[in-house]
Amino acid sequence: MAPLQARRKAQPRREALLKAAVEVVGTEGLAGTTHRSVTEAAGVPLATASYYFSSIGELVAEALQAFVAGRAAEMAAPDLGELHGVLTPGDIAGWYAAKVMELDGPHRLAFYEVLVNAPRSPELAGPARDALRTYGEAAQAGLRAVGAAGDDRQSRAYVALALGLGLLHLVDPGEDDTDQLYEAIRDLFLGQERTATDPAGVAARLATPAATTTS
């Protein structure tokens, strides 16, 4: 029983290691994440990592799994369908853009590390899909709120837009990137709402060349 009690008493150090591992992955990448770099970031002795985890791989995998699961919970949206007619596309787009862009640099980088490595890392594949699913479900809630079809196919464009601008923000950050994402999502919602309420009008507009003018 003593070892189990010791582990329970030292749990804050274990949590510190998990938190630090995510930050190190975000700043140094997976290749640069070592026992030393993680323990230094956590402010604990080097031997602490080996006490809790059999390898740096186990530590990083558990840390990223917990991080992505937490991110999925943060992106979970309530069912907004009952608020159709109350919330505007702008309201929903503002919430979505703010949630997508709220991650700081290191955590955003860590999130993309998970996505990039998920196809070749079974332990990350499930959490990555779960996180993307919640991104999609948040978009679906918004689509239902404007009276459009809230399904997987429709929501994928929103997920792609969010991830794409989030990646662009890492490489070439703009001061108004959150506003740009908001405007792009808002316009997508408006288009979906128009398509749902006036499909014939949208079809006719799409068939009309943009350069056509009336005298």
CATH of the domain at 24: 1.10.357.10
Segment 100-126, tens digit of pLDDT: 899 999 999 999 999 999 998 888 898
201 domain-assigned: no
CA–CA dist 193, 144 (Å, integer): 9
For residue 64, pLDDT beyond 60:
yes
Which amino acid is it at 190?
L
Question: Residue 209 has what pLDDT?
Answer: 76
Higher pLDDT, residue 42 or 140: 42
Q: What is the total count of domains within the chain? A: 1
33 domain-assigned: yes
Of 44-53, 174-183, 192-201, the poorest mean pLDDT is in 192-201
pTM equals 0.79
Segment 201-214, tens digit of pLDDT: 888 888 877 665 45
Question: Residue 1 has what pLDDT?
Answer: 46
For residue 151, pLDDT beyond 90:
no
CA–CA dist 140, 153 (Å, integer): 10
- Domain span holding position 158: 2-196
210 domain-assigned: no
Question: Residue 24 has what pLDDT?
Answer: 95
Query: Torsions phi, psi of 120, nearest 5?
Result: -115, 15
CA–CA dist 108, 190 (Å, integer): 28
108 domain-assigned: yes
Question: Residue 80 has what pLDDT?
Answer: 54
209 domain-assigned: no
| Strand segments (E) across the chain | none
Sole residue written with tokens 């740009």: 180
Mean pLDDT of the chain: 84
147 sits in the region (left: phi over 0; alpha: psi -120 to 50; else beta) called left
Higher pLDDT, residue 56 or 146: 56
For residue 84, pLDDT beyond 80:
no
112 domain-assigned: yes
Query: Torsions phi, psi of 187, nearest 5?
Result: -65, -35
CA–CA dist 21, 106 (Å, integer): 11
Highest mean pLDDT among 36-45, 113-122, 181-190, 201-210: 36-45
